[in-house]
Chains A and B, each alone.
Chain A
Amino acid sequence: MELLLFILPVFFALSVLLVPKQGVRAYGIIGSLVVLGVVIACMMQYNNNGTMYLFMQKPWFYGITLSFGYDGISLLMLLLTAVLVPLILVANFRNELAENRLFTSMVFFMQLGLIGVFVSMDGLWFYIFWEITLIPIFLISWWFGAPERKAALMKFFIYTFVGSLAMLAALIGIKVNSPTFYIEDLRTVVFTGKTACWLALGFFLAFAIKIPVFPFHTWQPDTYTKSPMAGTMLLSGIMLKMALYGMIRWMLPLFPEAIPCLQYPIIILATVGVVYAAIIAIRQKDMKRVFAFASMSHVGLIAAAIMTCNFDALSGSMVQILNHGLVAVGLFLAVEIIERRAGTRNLDELGGFAKQAPKFAFWFAALAFASVSVPLTSGFIGEFLMLKGLVGFDMVVGIIAGTTLILGAVYTFRAYQLSMYGPVTRDHFADLHWSELLVLALIVIAVVIFGVYPAAITDFVNPSIKVVLETLSTPSGL
């Protein structure tokens, strides 16, 4: 049954090309819901003790194995992917884009790549799927993005490709000492601290570019603003989570020897990024750019928390990964709603929509609260746990990272206030369409549920996190 995770996206990606134009919307949504069903079925049958469930393990060639499986962490990422794809398709419902067959096909290919990343337990397969995700997102943005997108997208592609090559170099570097690419085989390889550092840096470069961690972020704002909404949602909602997942699954367990030398630099870079991006976000005029930098700020905090290798911080980061995926999709949808109706994203030219569209104002506000981690939203639980871990790691770093709560409130509510309140600037501003309402409401409800009952997530991932952390504390090979 688990093989359906691969077969279904490919099937839908190819078959959607034959569906008549009127049916593409419905077909895409139904297809993505079927995939969601399979993921939920996988979650149901997974006995939650933190071990890896391998549904396929065979040797292949040249040390590559066909090892695919999942544990709690992978399943949570799979769930996020499977939930966000239908949400993104529904959010696109009113775009002409939604009835484009190529677009829907590319979304499914993207989903294939993402699922592959999360279930690959073989280093080279992880790399292969990691690269596969790059092609559909590039094509989506290239075909359907803003008019002056080309330079930004070339930069994006080359930037991420360079990072991936560093990862490939590191993978080849470990493989030389190991019989296969299977994750347990790779883990047993013991390095000296110095070699481990270099190899871990190879991985880190790939992840840092995708997350993006300061100073590897320069591709990000342009790419986010020039991509179509669905592209931005895929990028910030799921694709950068690949990198965070990669840190937990691959970088830390493979190179526990490198943690002492890399921990501080990475945490400091990430924390700098948190504050830096937040300050830039405050000064932006373009609403999409505000949320692009906001995304960078939030994710930087997650990266820092993961590097503490602290149990609470890791479990908080899993909550926040889920939360950020949902909220980012919601916020970019809100931006899209405003842009589509007002014709611009420039905050100076917006205002007064709250009077004309009260429903939109309410749900956007709810999302804004979720984004700044108000208690009773899942963001609060996540950030609280992560900051707890960071403060435990180093008081100063924790406090600096903690300013994200204040700065986050500033840029989010500034954007909200400038667009929704103030003098009315447009004669007409239609309220939410049912598809938009559905997406926003689902996201807010989910965020509140997880905020009130975070154990739903933490109970699910904690055993797996425990296993990962145990592998860190017992030096590999012993």
Chain B
Amino acid sequence: MDALLIVFASGLISLFAAFAKKPWLVVSSAMAGLLAAIIVILNQLQTGKAFFDFLKYEGLLFDDLALVYSLAICVLALLIVGLGYERFKENPVHTGEYIGLLIFSTVGAMIMTAYTDMFMFFLGLEILSIPIYVMAGSNKTDIRSSEASLKYFLTGSFASGIFLFGLAWVYGATGTFRLWEIQAKIMEMESLSPILMIGVLLIMASFIFKIGAAPFHFWSPDVYDGAPHAVTGFMASVVKISAFYAFLKMFIVCFGFGELLGFWQNALVIMIIITMFVGNLSALRQVKFKRLLAYSSITHVGYTLLVFVSNSMGSVMELWFYMFAYGFSIVGVIGVGLAVNDQEDRIEAWRGLGKRNPFLAIVGIVSLLSLAGIPPTAGFFAKYIVFSSAWANASWLVIIALINSAISIYYYLKVIATIISPVESGQEKIKLSPLTIGVLTLALIGMLGFSVIVSWL
């Protein structure tokens, strides 16, 4: 609860700080708030005490898992705010809005990790989504950005509608909105009611939409492509983490047992397979960086969905590892994309990065290796953790996922090859601001030292 309040307050402060028209003031208040939230969460994880414990509200419960996920969300939001600053400050009048909206969206993400009530979840979802609808269109001079915003808004609100519709069916079957009460009610049922099953399917569809898995993935390439880099990074890391955890939590707690489990798992398995192949095969021929990222993220969603098959409370941590590692890799590539700053966002523009800025090239290569899952980067360990937990239940699915990893190496390798190719004429060196270097160094440490960090936990 403390962290949530701190982040919310820092969002307000950075919004008001914008009156001073000093971008550095906005960004430092936002980053200070996120840092304070991280410290508070770490403290609460260790001591188990929170200052605002007396503010008991039943809709939100910050247990250890919610705290750990909030930690990941805050860390990644911090990195992305740091990365995006360079671009946001170009327009000092709007810096405050951009950063403020990102922070509010982070608040929504944190609510989505801690909800115990369907309504609270829905509130979190909307608090998370609405700022991003706006943010996706923040590049006002670019028509693709407006397209992304509108597309995301229309499809996103449609998905929210589907969620509410599904929720209505579940309410009809169980008569409550509380997660644990729904669980108890379903356990009492002698046979599954069709009303409930329809509700579960509809809710699942809305989640599949939010995390961008096939067959509800069509919005994601356009939106990723059109949105500004930092927003794309935010969608691929923070939004994914919170949506995934909310998904897993709801489905393990409410629907994760008995006949119902088999019912939605079967549907999900088919979607996992489609998701992995659709993402991979579409990514093979992409020439634009953010489109490639969108398709590769669809594939990663496919890998991550394997935690739903491994079917145990333990898989919550596996999901955390995967999303955290993935978030770091995203921060790395987005940082490179921001620094290269090509109008058309072509991958070709990355050519000769090794000469133009060696540090950037190292970050880019390590993040791509991490996305491809090559040791010793974070992506490999995360993949190993998720795959090995799913093996016992669905070894054949893991083998399909490994085949997909083999396909994906092609397009990652192509980008790496572009980075290490010689420079062409007319390309200058790239200069980085200290803040960007700091953020990218953190991402690099996260990717290379992930295994060491995990072994401490």
Residues of A within 8 A of B (CB): 60-63, 124, 127-128, 131-132, 134-135, 139, 142-143, 150, 154, 157-158, 161-162, 165-166, 168-169, 172-173, 175-176
Contacts and interface: CB of A to CB of B under 8 A. Distances in A.
A142 B455 CA distance: 35
B259 to A, nearest CB: 26
B374 interface: yes
B417 A132 contact: no
Contacts of A175: 388, 391
Interface of B: 369, 374-376, 380, 384-385, 387-388, 391-392, 395, 398-399, 402-403, 405-406, 409-410, 413-414, 417, 420, 451, 454-455, 457
Nearest to A166: B402
Given A128-B376, A142-B417, A143-B420, A157 B409 contact: yes
Contact of A135 (B374, B385, B402, B451): B374
A168 B402 contact: yes
A131 B375 contact: yes
Nearest to A142: B420
A61 B392 contact: no
A434 to B, nearest CB: 33
A134 B413 CA distance: 12
B406 A165 contact: yes
Contact of A61 (B395, B405, B455): B455
Contacts of A172: 384, 387-388, 391, 398
A128 B379 CA distance: 12
B206 to A, nearest CB: 32
Given A61-B454, A135-B369, A158 B391 contact: no
Contacts of A176: 388, 391-392
B224 to A, nearest CB: 26
B98 to A, nearest CB: 38
Contacts of B387: 168, 172
Nearest to A61: B455
Contact of A128 (B380, B385, B410): B380
A154 B413 contact: yes
B413 A157 contact: yes
A139 B417 CA distance: 9
A150 B417 contact: yes
Contacts of A128: 375-376, 380
Contacts of A61: 451, 454-455, 457
Contact of A62 (B385, B392, B410, B420): B385
Contact of A124 (B384, B399, B402, B410): B384
A62 B410 CA distance: 29
6 contacts: A61-B454, A62-B454, A132-B376, A135-B374, A154-B414, A161-B406
B380 A169 contact: no
Chain B interface helix/strand/loop/mixed: helix
A100 to B, nearest CB: 13
A93 B369 CA distance: 32
Given A60-B455, A150-B417, A169-B398, A127 B406 contact: no
B398 A62 contact: no
A166 B409 CA distance: 14
A364 B298 CA distance: 56
Most buried by B among A128, A134, A166, A175: A128
A173 B391 contact: yes
A168 B384 contact: yes
Contacts of A162: 406
Contact of A158 (B375, B392, B406): B406
A159 B417 CA distance: 16
A128 B377 CA distance: 10
A227 B385 CA distance: 35
B419 to A, nearest CB: 11
Most buried by B among A166, A172, A173: A172
Contacts of A143: 420
Given A150-B417, A158-B413, A62 B384 contact: yes
A166 B391 CA distance: 14
Given A165-B402, A168-B402, A172-B384, 13 more contacts: A60-B451, A60-B455, A128-B380, A134-B374, A154-B414, A165-B405, A168-B384, A169-B399, A169-B402, A172-B391, A173-B391, A173-B395, A176-B388
A180 B384 CA distance: 14
Contacts of B369: 135
Contacts of B414: 154
A139 B376 contact: no
Contacts of B409: 157-158, 161
A150 B420 CA distance: 12
A274 B410 CA distance: 31
Contacts of B457: 61
A199 B413 CA distance: 28
A174 B399 CA distance: 14
A76 B380 CA distance: 30
Contacts of B454: 61-62
A301 B384 CA distance: 34
A154 B392 contact: no
Contacts of B392: 176
Given A60-B455, A165-B402, A132 B413 contact: no
Contacts of A135: 369, 374
Contacts of B451: 60-61
B418 to A, nearest CB: 11
A255 B434 CA distance: 53
A172 B414 CA distance: 28
Question: Which 6 A-B residue pairs are closest in the complex by CB-CB distance?
Answer: A128-B375, A61-B455, A162-B406, A172-B388, A165-B402, A131-B375
Most buried by B among A61, A134, A139, A162: A61
Most buried by A among B384, B398, B403: B384
Nearest to B455: A61
A237 B339 CA distance: 41
Contacts of B402: 165-166, 168-169
Contacts of A173: 391, 395
B324 to A, nearest CB: 14
A176 B394 CA distance: 12
A88 B303 CA distance: 42
B388 A62 contact: yes
B375 A132 contact: yes
Nearest to B404: A165
A166 B399 CA distance: 8
B281 to A, nearest CB: 15
B36 to A, nearest CB: 29
A143 B420 CA distance: 8
Given A157-B413, A165-B405, A172-B384, A131 B391 contact: no
A142 B420 CA distance: 8
B52 to A, nearest CB: 33
A61 B318 CA distance: 12
A174 to B, nearest CB: 10
